[in-house]
Amino acid sequence: MKEKKIGISYKEEKIKLSLKVCKGIFEAIGLMFSRREKAKALLFEFKNPTNMSIHSWFVFYDFLAIWLDEENNIIDKKIVSPFQFSISPSRKFQKLIEIPINRKYSKIISILVGSRKI
């Protein structure tokens, strides 16, 4: 998997993320079957705006889903619990970031959604 660095802004905070880019069919499984503490933050990019939903089947821990437009503006963000059937943002998006709620990303998670028990 290729790695990409992107920056997003949220409530006057600048957040820099180093993300694994998921492109191929086997990378499209996202965080499924991964272990919480070893999981990496993932980036899914789409050529055109889409409104597809995601699921969290076989993800055994909570994660933060962040939907972005083409300019990396946050459209929506949600804490996703394990085994949810359908999660979708409020409107079309061009990028999706999945951040596991673990020690490595605790500072970013606390900025975006407040402190979480890990």
CATH number (domain holding residue 64): 2.60.120.1140
pLDDT for residue 51 is more than 80: yes
**Cα(30)–Cα(40) distance, integer angstroms:** 10
Is residue 74, in this structure, part of any structural domain at all?
yes
Averaged over 57-65, what is the pLDDT?
96
Domain range for 22 is: 2-113
pLDDT digits (tens, 9 = 90+) for 80-118: 999 999 999 999 999 999 999 999 999 999 999 987 776
Is residue 15, in this structure, part of any structural domain at all?
yes
Is residue 30, in this structure, part of any structural domain at all?
yes
pTM of the model: 0.92
Q: Which residues contact 80 (CB under 8 A, 6 or more apart)?
A: 54, 56, 59, 62, 63, 64, 65, 87
Q: Specify the number of domains making up the chain.
A: 1
pLDDT for residue 17 is more than 80: yes
Is residue 118, in this structure, part of any structural domain at all?
no
Q: Which of 107, 95, 94 is nearest to 16 (CA)?
A: 107
pLDDT digits (tens, 9 = 90+) for 23-33: 865 567 889 98
